[in-house]
Structure 1
Amino acid sequence: MRYDEVEIGAELPAGSFRLRRADLVRYAGTSGDFNPIHWNEKVAAEVGLPGVIAHGMLTMATAGRVVTDWAGDPGAICEYGVKFSSPVVVPNDDTGALVEVRGTVEKKLDGNRVVVNLVVRCDGNKVLMAARATARLA
């Protein structure tokens, strides 16, 4: 995406991403976060969770894909912040959890940068709040 082609209020193409238990295992190996709430039903229940949950940072990174895909550059994000509001429960089946992401350009900044607000939901619940990314465009 080119900076001069972007308008405030423009909607980014929405993204739908499946997270399955295998994704949690791969993310744990990459991140080093082997907390059992991300793979063990019994432990998740013992701490009051509704089931095994996705890593928060995996959810955050997954949502950021909408911005990098739109920008056409995986390194386009120069600032990104969220508040975690609800866990992404990942069932032990072939379907997994569906994370749905929508983005809107909030403003344009100097230096070919734009601020994008993201709405991130799973099963109708907002899983990230105040999700905002600043991306540098061509």
Structure 2
Amino acid sequence: MTAAKGDALPSFTVHLTRADLVRYAGASGDLNPIHWSDRIATGAGLPGVIAHGMLTLGVAGRIVTDWVGDASRIRSFGARFTRPVPVPDDDEGAEVEITAVVSDVTDGIAKVDFKAVFDGKSVLGRAVAEVVLPD
């Protein structure tokens, strides 16, 4: 695998549904009702039920793991949560577009800037991964 500044990673779109939120809540133990109750979520000032931030981050991270092939090559990975992803109670869910670009390659380390976009707006800030490239 080679990488150069400006290389785009293969993008993808994911649809997060309420069923995904239930599965994630069970796996993670995050049973906060803002992730399953419209009444609680709107009472908290949210637009409705929202996806777990860590679910969104994990889904976005697939762009790096799919590209690198070996997750042990990921030296660092992180982002800030900037906007919630409201998930409607329907079969379509919330469409989140995931993209990434190599922003730098130095001494065998590729810096990858990735994005998760919902409704035309980024939901992650400072989303960066560092990947150790093979020799």
Change over 3 Å in CA distance of 1:20–1:75 after alignment to 2:
farther
Structure 2 length-normalised TM? 0.93
1:48 aligns with 2:45: yes
SS in 2 for 1:86: coil
Structure 1 length-normalised TM? 0.91
Aligned counterparts, 1:122-137, within 5 A: 122-137=118-133
RMSD: 1.2
From 87, 90, 110, the equivalent of 2:87 is 90
Question: Is there any run of 5+ residues in structure 1 with no aligned partner, and where?
Answer: none
Q: How many equivalent residue pairs? A: 134
Q: Distance in 2 between matches of 1:76 and 1:19?
A: 27
1:12 aligns with 2:9: yes
Q: Distance in 2 between matches of 1:27 and 1:109?
A: 36
Q: CA deviation at 1:72?
A: 1.7
Task: Give, as a single letter, the amino acid of the residue that structure 1 aligns with 2:75.
Answer: C
| Structure 1 residues 11-55: Cα deviation after superposition (integer angstroms, max 9, x where no partner) | 111121111111111111111100000000000010000010000
Q: Distance in 1 between matches of 2:69 and 2:83?
A: 29
Question: Is there any run of 5+ residues in structure 2 with no aligned partner, and where?
Answer: none
From 70, 73, 77, the equivalent of 1:73 is 70
Task: Decide which moves more: 72-81 or 48-57.
Answer: 72-81
Structure 1 residue aligned with 2:19:
22
Q: Which runs of 4+ in 1 moved over 3 A?
A: none
